Amino acid sequence: MCHQTVGLIARQAEAAGIPTLSMSCARDITAAVNPPRATYLDWPLGHTSGRPHDLEGNTTIMRAVLAAFASIDTPGTIVDLDVPWAADDDWKDRVMRPRPQDPAAPTTATTPAAADDDRVQRFPTPQYQSADDADAAAARHGGSDCTVCAGIDY
């Protein structure tokens, strides 16, 4: 779901008396949308709660998020989470490089090798970390559309 939509939903939920907190890896977009409360994790997009299958890391991030949720008292506050993605920031130089159309094509400064591209593949449908998660989602929704995701064009 796009950041703008999440910010609008958060403001509507807050207006109804439901406290919200947005989690983001895109600080500039989050600041522009101005949700009631937010945390920012300086990690590649799509990793707002950590790396897949990293229970310890996910727990660390979620504890920091919950602590921020409890401490934010000024609307529009964004708390920067101090959890590094890597020992240095070299990953930022690679994260937005497009893969060459032809993996056999020569690598240049503008078309790096596919191995240098560490972005996560995007899918047009929801993805789950395990078969158990997929089964639980299917059982929860009974084969019908998720009411939370209604209107999302997968």
pLDDT tens digits, 79-135: 999 999 988 888 787 666 655 555 555 555 555 455 555 556 667 777 777 888 888
Q: 116 and 53: one domain?
A: no
Domain span at residue 109 reads: 87-122
Q: 93 and 108: one domain?
A: yes
CA neighbor of 85 nearest in space, from 120, 48, 55, 117: 48
Residue 26 structure tokens? 């895109």
CB 30 within 8 A of CB 77: no
Q: 67 and 7: one domain?
A: yes
Q: 150 and 80: one domain?
A: no
Q: 152 and 106: one domain?
A: no
Q: How many domains does the chain have?
A: 3
Q: Which residues 6+ apart lie within 8 Å of 81 measured at CB?
A: 39, 40, 41, 42, 61, 64, 65, 68
Q: 135 and 79: one domain?
A: no
Q: 94 and 75: one domain?
A: no
Residue of 68 and 132 predicted with greater confidence: 68
Q: 34 and 61: one domain?
A: yes
Residue 97 structure tokens? 């490089």
Kindly tell me if the per-residue pLDDT of 150 is higher than 90.
Answer: no
User: Which residues are registered as beta bridge partners of 77?
Assistant: 37
Q: 23 and 67: one domain?
A: yes
Residue of 25 and 107 predicted with greater confidence: 25
Q: 60 and 106: one domain?
A: no
CB 151 within 8 A of CB 128: no
pTM score, whole prediction: 0.61
Separation of alpha carbons 119 and 142, rounded Å: 32
Q: 75 and 94: one domain?
A: no
Residue 75 structure tokens? 């609307």
Q: 18 and 34: one domain?
A: yes
